[in-house]
């Protein structure tokens, strides 16, 4: 097994209920708590606990593609690599170690969303369906033949972390089925349509910065997609004061239309909105923020934020600099 974090755990656990012995675990090196980030899959200690429980040897190389990493993998004498959210691209030499190569549990309906963050980008782009694909691993990223695939719906308020948690057991079930097909020689692969492929690159902190000129639905999708990491954020800007960084945890979209004077990022005021945090967005739409977290403070409701900051006409959200 090669994998990291909560997305990989159901597959790893499931292997112990099968008839094929698990000869080893390859997972990411331990990192200080402050560096565990990216998504739910970045906290690898659960995988180590499972390995210890079943007395499975563990390999944690900085890179599995080095001669040392390959030698450690070869010492396990594996017949098949089962990979889920491992976090490293495997070289041709790594894939050549086991006679049956490797299979990958990928959290998208390939060929859409090839890459490191398929769940987040599916939500970001407003998809209503996603799923899991088991692929025969190749040197090209997520481009191998598809051995199994299953779709599920995406909830309208579901975050990336919540969706990934639902996809994980689906991936485990499909992986176990494919393993048995490989063992019996009955697996069947389907080629991916390269022309339909889209990318899901690794997330960075910069992906969380909200662009209020986008329509409200797109802003809300971004907020959902960036959880649990890097989180969506903006800056609260007030006249003659330093901009305050604010994480936006929960928001909903309204189609509008707004009055023509409403600008993207503008905080809106009216008699029925005194305790509601409404923000102008693109194409005459608006976002209602429900939960947010100012820098250095705890997560709070919009009503608490309003009481604590005495919002004034002209206050807005946006980039750090106007």
- Ordered by start, the domain boundaries in the chain are 2-196, 205-318
How far is Cα 76 from Cα 86, in angstroms, rounded to an integer? 17
Residue 214: predicted pLDDT: 96
What would the pLDDT profile of 211-241 be if each residue is shown by its tens digit? Answer: 999 999 999 999 999 999 999 999 999 988 9
40-49, 134-143, 157-166 — which is least confidently predicted?
40-49
* Cα distance between residue 234 and residue 194, in whole Å: 36
Residue 280: is it exposed, middle or buried by C-beta count within 10 angstroms (0-12/13-18/19+)? buried
CA atoms of 312 and 246, how far apart (whole Å): 17
Question: Which residues on adjacent β-strands are paired with residue 2?
Answer: 26, 83
Kindly report the number of other CB atoms within 10 A of residue 73's CB atom.
23
pLDDT at 322 over 80: no
Asked whether residue 38 carries a pLDDT value surpassing 80, the answer given is no
Percent of the chain with pLDDT over 70: 92
pLDDT interval class at 30 (50, 70, 90): confident
What's the half-sphere exposure (Cβ side, CA atoms, 13 Å) at 119?
Answer: 30
> Where are the extended beta strands (E) located within 170-285?
232-237, 244-254, 267-268, 277-280
Distance CA 10, CA 165 (A): 10
| Model confidence pLDDT, tens digit, residues 241-295 | 999 999 999 999 986 555 556 799 999 875 555 678 999 999 989 999 999 999 9
Task: Return left, alpha or beta for 30; rule: phi > 0 is left, psi -120 to 50 is alpha, else beta.
Answer: beta
| Each residue's pLDDT tens digit, 183-202 | 999 999 999 999 999 999 99
Burial environment of residue 285 by CB neighbours within 10 A (0 to 12, 13 to 18, 19 or more): buried
pLDDT, residue 33, reads 53
Superfamily of domain 2-196: Formyl transferase, N-terminal domain (3.40.50.170)
The rounded distance, in Å, linking the Cα atoms of 304 and 179 is 52
pLDDT (tens digit, 9 = 90+) per residue, 66-123? 999 999 999 999 999 999 999 999 999 999 999 999 999 999 999 999 999 999 999 9
pLDDT at 259: 53
**CA angle centred on 230, ends 62 and 31, rounded to 5°:** 30
**259, 201 contact by CB (below 8 A):** no
Q: What's 205-318's CATH class? A: alpha beta
CA distance 25 to 72: 11
Q: How much is the pLDDT for 35?
A: 45
């Amino acid at each position: 097994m090669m994998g990291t974090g909560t997305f990989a755990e159901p597959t790893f656990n499931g292997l112990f209920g099968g008839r094929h012995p698990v000869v080893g675990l390859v997972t990411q090196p331990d990192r200080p708590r402050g560096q565990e980030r990216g998504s739910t899959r970045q906290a690898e200690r659960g995988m180590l606990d499972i390995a210890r429980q079943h007395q499975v040897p563990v390999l944690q190389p900085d890179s599995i593609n080095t001669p040392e990493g390959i030698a450690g993998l070869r010492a396990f004498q594996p017949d098949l690599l089962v990979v889920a959210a491992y976090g490293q691209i495997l070289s041709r030499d790594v894939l050549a170690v086991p006679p049956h190569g490797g299979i990958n549990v990928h959290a998208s309906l390939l060929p859409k969303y090839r890459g490191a963050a398929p769940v987040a980008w599916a939500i970001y782009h407003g998809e209503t369906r996603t799923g899991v694909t088991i692929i025969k691993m190749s040197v090209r990223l997520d481009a191998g033949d598809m051995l199994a695939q299953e779709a599920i719906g995406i909830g309208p308020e579901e975050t990336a972390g919540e969706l990934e948690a639902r996809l994980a057991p689906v991936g485990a079930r499909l992986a176990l089925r494919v393993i048995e097909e490989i063992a019996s020689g009955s697996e069947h692969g389907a080629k991916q349509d390269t022309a339909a492929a889209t990318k899901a690159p690794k997330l960075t902190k910069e992906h969380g910065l909200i662009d209020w000129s986008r329509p409200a639905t797109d802003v809300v999708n971004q907020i959902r997609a960036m959880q649990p990491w890097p989180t969506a954020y903006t800056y609260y800007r007030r006249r003659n004061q330093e901009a305050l960084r604010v994480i936006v945890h929960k928001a909903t979209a309204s189609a509008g239309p707004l009055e023509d004077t409403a600008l993207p990022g503008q905080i809106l005021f009216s008699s029925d909105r005194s305790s509601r945090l409404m923000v102008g967005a693109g194409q005459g739409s608006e976002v209602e923020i429900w939960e947010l977290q100012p820098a250095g403070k705890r997560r709070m409701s919009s009503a608490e934020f309003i009481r604590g900051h005495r919002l004034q006409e002209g206050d807005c959200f946006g980039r750090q600099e106007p």
